Amino acid sequence: MKQFSSHIENIQRLSEKTGRAVKLMEVCGTHTMAAFRSGLRSLLPSNVLLLSGPGCPVCVTAGDYIDRAIVIAHEPNTLVASFGDMIRVPGTDSSLEEARAHGARVLVVYSPLDALNEAIRHPKTQVVFLGVGFETTAPAVAWTIRESKRQGVSNYSVLCAHKTIPPAMAALLRSGDVKIDGFMCPGHVSVIIGSRPYEFICRDYNIPCVVAGFETADMAVSIGILLQQILNHRAEVVIQYSRSVNESGNAEAQAIMNEVFEECDDRWRGLGMIPHSGLRIRKQFAQHDALTIFGNLNIPAPRERPGCICGAILKGTQLPADCPLFRTQCTPETPVGACMVSSEGTCAAYYKYAKYTEHHESASKKG
């Protein structure tokens, strides 16, 4: 393993050779936070700009999903279980956290297994797990659905909003709203799906991809790989995160995902409806689908908060500093948009580390 400093020197050397501004998108919210926290962004040359992509599941979940979860959590003998990030996301009128303060039953869990066990312990309570997340998380949730059917746990269900990453990357490119020179593909999504599902990005859009790990050195090496491809006019999928990712992915995880879920079109906050980008629960598991169980509830039409530009930020077309609410009305304590709530949200990252980024990236944008 080379010294970290040599990776940075490599980036500097390659970026000088490109002779232009290079925009690389880190698709995954975990990469976004890692790049900020480690200070890697501050070590990059001014013509290499990292754009944050749509890979924060909490951020891209449509507002009416939260509204539906809140209505369900107010139903009698019902408990909504969720990963912690979700409960502070603002819906149209409130968040799950605020709803809990007004009597809704909401439980934060670490794993969907905890939600299933809660259902087993309390058979008279319908436990609804909020199935939010990408391919990394979907197999775990699929397992609990299949297991609840196998064990006859009739009071466990999932409100499914799982999404898949490659169609969203293609949708971004098709929109033409933002010019991207290379993708840093999400490492842990790729553990499940492998590297092959990104090949069409290289082939059809001529954009290089690297599947990157999450340590600072992993990301520095990955940026160097993308710059080298750009210089050589190549567009291939390279696996930098080889300790976890291979070409074909995790076959066991893919099998259970396919058994329980089927592909559907899905709406992403900021990106709109994207064909084939969602997962829904197959009919044979309908008794564990919260949409079936709570299908007749009256959900108000969702409204985006006026002034919030989360959508543009998720597409990489605007930065948090461009938002009139950023740091004024919208802070981690009083979030207006989802990007400020999630620990992986772009606005939360900029808020925490803004001293550097405001200076560096306003200069970079001009390139």
Partner 1 sequence: MCLAVPAKILEIEGDTAVIEINGVRRSGNVSLIHNPEIGDYVLLHAGFAIQKWSEEDVREFNAITEEMQKLEQT
Residue 336, burial from CB neighbour count under 10 angstroms (0-12, 13-18, 19+): buried
Specify the stretch interacting with partner 1 by CB under 8 A; choose among 18-26, 213-221, 267-275, 323-331: 213-221
The DSSP result for 200-253, as a single string, is HHHHHH---EEE--SSHHHHHHHHHHHHHHHHTT---EEES-TTT--SS--HHH
Nearer to partner 1, 41 or 325 (CB): 41
Task: Answer for the pair 211, 187: CB distance below 8 angstroms, yes or no.
Answer: yes
Nearer to partner 1, 116 or 180 (CB): 116
From 94, 111, 228, 331, residue interacting with partner 1 (rule: CB under 8 A): 111
Specify the stretch interacting with partner 1 by CB under 8 A; choose among 94-102, 134-142, 175-183, 231-239: 134-142
Structural tokens at position 141: 């949730």
Nearest distance from C-beta of residue 117 to partner 1, angstroms = 10
Specify the stretch interacting with partner 1 by CB under 8 A; choose among 12-20, 108-116, 199-207, 328-336: 108-116
152-191 residues in contact with partner 1 (CB under 8 A) are 186-189, 191
Binding to partner 1 by residue 253, rule CB under 8 A? yes
Residue ranges with strand state E in the chain: 22-28, 48-55, 78-82, 106-108, 126-131, 156-160, 182-185, 209-211, 237-239, 261-268, 272-281
Nearer to partner 1, 92 or 111 (CB): 111
From 10, 15, 30, 95, residue interacting with partner 1 (rule: CB under 8 A): 30
- Binding track over 320-349 against partner 1, x by CB under 8 A: ----------------------x-x-----
d(CA 80, CA 98): 14
Binding to partner 1 by residue 85, rule CB under 8 A? yes
From 217, 231, 291, 312, residue interacting with partner 1 (rule: CB under 8 A): 217
From 10, 15, 95, 250, residue interacting with partner 1 (rule: CB under 8 A): 250
From 45, 90, 112, 182, residue interacting with partner 1 (rule: CB under 8 A): 112
Binding to partner 1 by residue 136, rule CB under 8 A? yes
User: Could you identify the residue written with the tokens 């076959």?
Assistant: 251
Nearer to partner 1, 15 or 216 (CB): 216
Cross-strand partners of 330: 326
Binding to partner 1 by residue 145, rule CB under 8 A? no
Specify the stretch interacting with partner 1 by CB under 8 A; choose among 22-30, 87-95, 224-232, 303-311: 22-30
d(CA 336, CA 289): 30
> Nearest to residue 192, comparing CAs of 158, 235, 141, 156?
141
Task: Answer for the pair 314, 51: CB distance below 8 angstroms, yes or no.
Answer: no
Specify the stretch interacting with partner 1 by CB under 8 A; choose among 50-58, 118-126, 170-178, 286-294: 50-58
Question: Strand, helix or coil at 81?
Answer: strand
d(CA 316, CA 23): 10
DSSP category for residue 294: T
**Site of interaction with partner 1 (CB under 8 A):** 1, 3-4, 28-30, 38, 55-58, 83, 85, 110-114, 132-134, 136-137, 139-140, 143, 186-189, 191-192, 215-218, 243-244, 250-253, 256, 342, 344
